[in-house]
């Protein structure tokens, strides 16, 4: 008699535990993908800024022709950030004097022929800093189940990466 009342209880318990287990598994996978996107973007931003720092005033003086432009920088960031959806990336370049170029999205600057670092204000002199910031907005599927502190649903996660390096030559 007692055994008949327990019939099906294992399925109910497994369902309750299974929902929590599947949610935890999906959350772990989504978090791993976001971390991978952030790390790849941060690496790409740093390597792109090293590329900028090695193309300063020395590339425009004495017959040298290795100056780069914003399009070259956008192409470099795109090629270095393998696997990152660059349609969701916003890049901002800032010179020593405060000149700012924003690419929203990144692909909008692929054909920009503005020289960078700019010659104006001697921003391309060795020792001046060049700063690059890239932000990616991700919309993981599992995050739509969570509520924020204000009670509204969280729809996306913004991951920023910044690098500031002095121009080498």
pLDDT tens-place values along the chain, 169 residues long: 566 666 778 888 888 999 889 888 988 998 899 999 999 999 999 999 999 999 988 887 777 788 899 999 999 999 999 999 999 999 999 999 999 999 999 999 999 999 999 988 889 999 999 999 999 998 887 766 666 666 566 678 899 999 999 998 8
Q: Where are the domains of the chain?
A: 2-166
Three-class SS of residue 66? coil
């Amino acid at each position: 008699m007692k055994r008949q009342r327990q019939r099906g209880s294992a399925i109910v318990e497994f369902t309750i535990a299974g929902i929590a287990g599947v949610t935890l598994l999906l959350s772990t996978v989504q978090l791993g993908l976001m971390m991978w996107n952030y790390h790849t973007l941060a690496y790409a931003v740093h390597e792109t800024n090293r590329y900028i720092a090695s193309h300063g005033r020395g590339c425009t003086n004495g017959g040298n022709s290795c100056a780069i432009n914003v399009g070259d920088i956008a192409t470099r960031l795109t090629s270095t950030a393998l696997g990152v959806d660059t349609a969701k990336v916003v890049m901002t370049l800032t010179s020593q004097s405060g000149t700012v170029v924003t690419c929203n999205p990144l692909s909008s600057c692929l054909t920009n022929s503005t020289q960078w670092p700019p010659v104006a204000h001697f921003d391309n002199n060795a020792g001046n800093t060049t700063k690059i910031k890239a932000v990616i907005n991700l919309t993981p599927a599992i995050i739509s189940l969570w509520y924020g502190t204000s009670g509204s649903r969280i729809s996306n996660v913004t991951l920023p990466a910044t690098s500031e390096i002095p121009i080498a030559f």
